[in-house]
Chains A and B, each alone.
Chain A
Amino acid sequence: MKEETLLKVDSLRMYFNIAGKGLFGRSSAAIKAIDDVSFDISRGETLGLVGESGSGKTTVGRAILRALKPTGGKVLFNIGDRVTDVTELSGKDLFSFRRHMQLIFQDPYSSLNPRMTVRDIIAEPLECQKYGTRDEIDARVREVAERCKLNVEHLRRFPHAFSGGQRQRICIARALVASPEFIVCDESVSALDVSIQAEVINLLQDLQAELGLTYLFIAHDLSVVAQISHRVAVMYVGRLMEFAPTESLFFAPQHPYTKALLSAVPSVHPDHEFAPVPLDGEIPNPAAVPSGCRFRTRCPIAQDKCASEEPEWREIDQDHFVACHYAGAANATA
């Protein structure tokens, strides 16, 4: 593994059994929420992960953090001169490894305990990890709170006294307090109002520059993802469709799904023509994934080959990966 690579996800699979035990004790049906996903993230990088609801993007975040135990594949962290596969950790090892990774949730209203003061909320990760004495913890909490632009005078208040943007900053402070290297932001700015959202995005970017943090930024809002990410992965029904540096993904998308997604974002510029590529129907049930290319049922350029052969994951341009038989050629037709 290269030195600058912090995290490498290799053929990650996460299946959920849905059939339960049948009459003869067999269970067969499974939702393939993540079906062979591989990518890597460099230190200090933000990787954007986009996709429609049901694409499995949240599950990827949870599997990396080991909130779920993946069905297969590896999740390798390159931390402290050592490569650790978190899928193999358990018990105490997993517990102590968790301080390297954190999660910021979507809804700052439901992710803070209303009965704890802000100081206690931010201090909890430190107390879990037995960081030090109460004074040491207090000092660290104040330092992080200041960094997240929270008023340290307000640390003894309860969450209800704060607005949405302030609450999300509390969540960010809680995530940062134990000095993690890697943070999963799962729709972390989606619930915020536009005027507040910009501030939180700027804060996340500043903290990254100061502390060298690495983010996996999961969101459905493409313009937010473009703003914050260095590279972007597009996911569809449990698999990556396209993976590229932000500029090339947004300005030279190769996969028909990415093109359709981008065309569906209404721009505020009224002179931009709003001509979404029509996609038939909706995202398929991950328990019954279409044969061949899983996007073919909605793809505007699908051919017979798409139903029979699964497209291979190929590098179509430098650092630009795509899973489509007709990517590149598609430029002429779409």
Chain B
Amino acid sequence: MRKPQTQTRPSDTEMEPLVEIEDLRVSFRTDEGLITPVDGVSFSVPRGKTLGIVGESGSGKSVSTKALMKLLPQTAIIDPGSRMRFTRKAGGVVDIARLGAGTREMRDIRGGDIAMIFQEPMASFSPVWTIGNQMIEAIRLHRAVGKAKAREIAIDMLERVGISNPDMRVDQYPHEMSGGMRQRCMIALALSTNPSLLIADEPTTALDVTIQAQILDLMNDIQSELDMSIIFITHDMGVIAHVADEVAVMYLGRIVERGPTAEVIHNPKHPYTKGLLAALPDLDHIDRRLVPVGGDIPGPMNRPAGCAFHPRCDQFTSGLCDAAIPHYTDTGDGREVSCFLVGQDEGAR
């Protein structure tokens, strides 16, 4: 295994994005052959900002972030051309794509620099250990503290995420808590090691709207308090509109549109983004008939050639959209769109 390239450039760390993913390509070996659920994804997350990733099933949104954590199964292959530059807490930039999943450095990053919270908090905790036990284990793995001090940190974190009676709760088992409380504990656990990047994979999807509002609020507070970056994965455009600074819309393994949240939602440029927004029921227009995006999401084995969205696109141009993948066109307002209809780029690949 090659040694990771580390370069320290403390002077311009503030300008540098915390994570920079370039041309990420992840394939899986399956019985039916090779599938590529993530096919050339590039994005970056600045410090203290939130990137929202929206996409439907099969878009590759979870796989790309799991690649960043090196949590993919053994059948996964990260293309050697992929780059995942990440700035460590201690300084220095590493390319995570070049790190082995089991290496010392990766184990430090995973949980220490990058933490992750999941959709189903019940499945993320072990049912046979107390919340405190599991938090103390994580804290001691990543911070040089003793048991008593780790317990103190755990209680403090639980209090911060709004758990009442943290001294008592710390010794409870996950089943003794409600869904919203478990998700709070999950956040406390993820944040107890002081990560600089939090990956939230559909963290509120399983929760009721009232609890979802509490959790979104909490994540917002903690982000500004800790100056942490967040990658927020969801399929809910409404949630994205309120948490993300920037949004990336994914479809079948590629980002089709990326830009400042308000711009993308107010004035979507890619036909898929437009379709997604039109398909959404809207409380302000309940008499309007919904406009579905025609067709179905193709399976990973039969990805359409060219622009993957072309079979469902109502503005599809034969001989162009099904022949080549459109470039990213910079539309000037900090936005990149991958569609032939936007800014007509002749030099199509």
* Residue ranges of A at the interface with B (Cβ–Cβ < 8 Å): 52-53, 163-166, 193-199, 201-202, 205, 220-224, 226-227, 246-247, 250, 260-270, 274, 276, 278-279, 282-283
B283 CB-CB contact with A under 8 Å:
yes
Given A247-B286, A268-B280, are A282 and B238 also a contact pair (CB < 8 Å)?
no
- Is A266 touching B216 in the complex (CB atoms < 8 A)? yes
CB contact under 8 A between A166 and B296, given known A194-B56, A282-B211: yes
Q: Assess the B266–A270 pair: CB atoms within 8 A.
A: yes
Minimum C-beta distance from A243 to chain B (A): 17
B1 contacts the other chain (CB 8 A): no
Residues in chain B near residue A52, CB distance under 8 A: 208-211
B76 within 8 A of A: no
Given contacts A267-B241, A268-B265, A270-B262, contact A195 B292 (CB under 8 A): yes
B residues near A (Cβ < 8 Å) are 56-57, 178-181, 208-214, 216-217, 235-239, 241-242, 261-262, 265-266, 275-277, 279-284, 286, 289-293, 296-297, 299, 312
Residue contact A195 to B209, C-beta cutoff 8 Å: no
Q: How many angstroms between the C-alpha atoms of A264 and B262 in the bound complex? A: 20
Q: Closest A residue to B181 by CB, please name it.
A: A282
In the complex, what distance in Å separates the CA atom of A269 from the CA atom of B280? 12
**CB nearest to A274 among chain B residues:** B242
Residue of B nearest to A55 (CB): B208
Which among B266, B277, B281 has the highest number of chain A CB atoms within 10 Å?
A: B281
Whether the Cβ atoms of B56 and A195 lie closer than 8 Å is yes
* Nearest residue, chain B, Cβ from A194: B279
- Contact indicator A198/B241 (Cβ below 8 Å): no
Complex Cα spacing A250 to B121, Å: 31
Partner of A266 from the list B241, B282, B312 (CB cut-off 8 Å) is B241
Query: In the complex, which residues of chain A have a beta carbon less than 8 angstroms from the beta carbon of B57?
Result: 164, 193
Q: How far is the CA of A52 from the CA of B276 in the complex (A)?
A: 26
Chain A minimum-CB-distance residue to B296: A163
- For the complex, give the distance between the alpha carbons of A246 and B284 in Å: 12
Would you call A195 and B241 a contact (CB within 8 A)? no
| B164 CB to nearest chain A CB (Å) | 9
* CB <8 Å contact, B241 and A269: yes
Instruction: Tell me the bound Cα distance from A278 to B180 in angstroms.
Output: 14
Question: Which B residue sits closest to A195, measured CB to CB?
Answer: B293
Chain A positions within 8 Å of B216 at CB level: 266
Which secondary structure dominates chain A's binding surface? helix
Asked whether A268 and B292 contact (CB < 8 A) given A195-B275, A197-B279, A226-B286, the answer is: no
Instruction: For residue B296, give the distance in angstroms from its CB to the closest CB of chain A.
Output: 4
Task: Give every chain A residue within 8 A of B210 (Cβ-Cβ).
Answer: 52, 260-261, 264, 276, 279
**A194 and B280 contact, Cβ closer than 8 Å, known pairs A164-B57, A261-B210, A264-B212:** yes
Residues of A within 8 A of B181 (CB): 282
List 8 other contacts, CB 8 Å, given A195-B292, A247-B286: A52-B209, A193-B297, A194-B56, A198-B290, A201-B290, A264-B210, A264-B212, A279-B210
Q: Given A260-B210, A274-B242 in contact, is the A224-B237 Cβ separation under 8 Å?
A: no
Cα-based distance from A205 to B287 in the complex (angstroms): 12
> 11 A-B contacts, Cβ less than 8 Å apart?
A194-B280, A195-B56, A198-B280, A227-B290, A250-B283, A261-B209, A261-B210, A267-B282, A269-B284, A282-B211, A283-B178
- Which residue in chain B gives the minimum CB-CB distance to A50? B209
Q: List residues of chain B with CB within 8 A of the CB of A195.
A: 56, 275-276, 279, 292-293, 297, 312
Chain B residues with Cβ below 8 Å from A282 are 178-181, 211
- The distance in angstroms between the C-alpha atoms of A194 and B205, with both chains bound, is 14
* A264 x B261 contact (CB < 8 A): no
Taking the nearest CB of chain B, how far is it from the CB of A176, in angstroms? 20
B296 touching A165 by the CB < 8 A rule? yes
Are B292 and A264 in touch, CB under 8 angstroms? no
Most buried by B among A262, A268, A276, A279: A268
Tell me whether A53 and B179 are in contact (CB under 8 A). Answer: yes
> Residues of B contacting A221 with CB < 8 Å?
281
Q: Which chain A positions have C-beta within 8 A of B290?
A: 198-199, 201-202, 227
Residue of A nearest to B291 (CB): A198
List chain A residues, Cβ under 8 A from B293.
195-196, 198
Which residue from chain A places its CB closest to the CB of B295 in the assembled complex?
A195
Contacts of B280 in A (CB 8 A): 194, 198, 223, 268
Minimal beta-carbon separation of A132 from chain B (angstroms): 33
Instruction: Find the A residue at minimum CB distance from B217.
Output: A276
**Residues of chain A contacted by B261 (CB below 8 angstroms):** 270
A224 touches B292 (CB 8 A): no
Bound CA span A194–B56, Å: 7
Cα–Cα distance between A283 and B207 once the two chains are bound (Å): 12
Partner of B238, one of A205, A263, A265: A265
Smallest distance from the beta carbon of A273 to chain B beta carbons, Å?
Answer: 10
The residue on A at minimum CB distance from B216 is: A266
Chain A residue nearest to B58 (CB atoms) is A193
With contacts A163-B297, A164-B57 taken as known, whether A266 is within 8 angstroms of B239 at the C-beta atoms is yes
Query: How far does the Cβ of A222 sit from chain B's closest Cβ, in whole Å?
Result: 7
List, in ascending order, chain B residues with CB within 8 A of A199's CB. Answer: 290, 292
Knowing A194-B276, A202-B289, A266-B238 are in contact, say whether A220-B56 is a contact too (CB < 8 A).
no
The answer to whether B241 touches A270, judged by C-beta atoms less than 8 angstroms apart, is yes
User: B296 — which chain A residues lie within 8 A by C-beta?
Assistant: 163, 165-166, 196
Closest to B59 in A: A193
A194-B276, A195-B293, A196-B296 known; A265+B286 contact, CB < 8 A:
no
Residues of B within 8 A of A274 (CB): 242
Contacts of B239 in A (CB 8 A): 266
Distance in Å from the Cβ of A174 to the closest Cβ of chain B?
19
Whether B281 lies near A223 (C-beta < 8 A) is yes
CA distance A90 to B262 in the complex (A): 58
